[in-house]
Amino acid sequence: MSRGAGLALGFVAGFLAVLLFHQPLIGLFYATGLGGNAPYALQPIPPLGVPRVISLAFWGGVWGIVFALLRPWLPARGWALLLAGLVFGALAPTLFGRFVITPLRGQAIQALTFANLWRGLLVNGAWGLGTAAVMLAAGRGFRRR
């Protein structure tokens, strides 16, 4: 698989993982009273006014590209790649959101406690697992060159 095709697969996998893994877990949390946001939210997000779920899926695709760029250093396939996706998803977007996005929004960074992070770790971990699963399904192991 060419590098460009691998990056495109990363974007598509990350985009789909938001819709197929991330949002259903948010829906489960919402339905059980554990989360504040409804899944598949359609309210427009500035500056372009696209629906929230599409914005989330786009950024999931961007993170999918990051995951694809790390691919040469990750396990080749199977359960090991799924575990790598889960760990990457749980940590990278969650910590980036906490330490980069939060300050850019002018908000204070909360302490790194499980009570403050558990939902992000689980939801983003589900996204990472989904991204790796889509890559495996679409790329038959997302073979390295």
Give me the residue spans of the domains in the chain. Answer: 3-139
What is the per-residue pLDDT for 140?
66
Give the single-character DSSP code of 1: -
Instruction: Report residue 78 as tokens.
Output: 């199977």
For residue 58, CA distances in Å to 5, 65, 102 come to 17, 11, 19
| Cβ 51 vs Cβ 102: under 8 Å | no
Kindly give the confidence (pLDDT) of every residue in the chain, 145 residues in length, as a single tens digit, with 9 standing for 90 and above.
Answer: 788 889 999 999 999 999 999 999 999 999 999 977 899 999 999 889 999 999 999 999 999 999 999 998 998 778 999 999 999 999 999 999 999 998 998 888 877 777 778 999 999 999 999 999 999 999 764 454 4
What is the per-residue pLDDT for 62?
98
Long-range pairs, 119-122, Cβ under 8 A, ≥24:
119/29, 119/34, 119/35, 120/93, 120/94, 121/90, 121/91, 121/94, 122/25, 122/90
What is the per-residue pLDDT for 145?
44
| Cβ 55 vs Cβ 105: under 8 Å | no
